[in-house]
A = this chain, B = another copy of it.
Amino acid sequence: MSKREAATENQINDALNDLPGWSLVDGKLQKTYKFNSFAAALGWMVSAGVEADKMNHHPEWSNVYNRVTVTLVTHDLGNVVSTLDLTLAKKMEALA
């Protein structure tokens, strides 16, 4: 599941079934997380960031106060959703 290759439509749809709150927006995987506090949001970014860096696959994400919006896409495959994006989204869910 974590090779760097484009995900099929079926793989994406299957994954989205297990990824509450995630959706495809302009061909990218996206979710806005809302935490109880800025402290909780920043701590989650650190946990997720450690995992992302270990995959050498980094999110585009923005934060204001207790919200974090994450956008996942694989640039070096031509801005498609890849199996790496699906894996990272699942890790992010597990840590949230």
Q: In the complex the two chains form, is A50's CB within 8 Å of B47's CB?
A: no
Q: Taking the complex as formed, is A60 at the interface, i.e. its CB lies under 8 A from any CB of chain B?
A: yes
Interface assignment of A1: CB less than 8 Å from any CB of chain B: no
Is A40's CB under 8 angstroms from B47's CB?
yes
Q: Identify which of B38, B50, B64, B65 contacts A42 (C-beta below 8 A).
A: B50
Chain B residues lying within 8 Å of A39, measured Cβ to Cβ, are 46-48, 50-51, 53, 95
What 1/0 flags go to A23-52 for Cβ under 8 Å of B? 000000000000001111011111111111
B contact residues around A61 at 8 Å (CB): 62-64
Across-interface contacts of A62 in B (CB, < 8 A): 60-63
Q: List 13 A-B contacts (CB under 8 A).
A: A39-B46, A39-B53, A39-B95, A40-B95, A42-B45, A42-B47, A43-B44, A43-B45, A49-B50, A50-B50, A50-B53, A60-B62, A60-B64
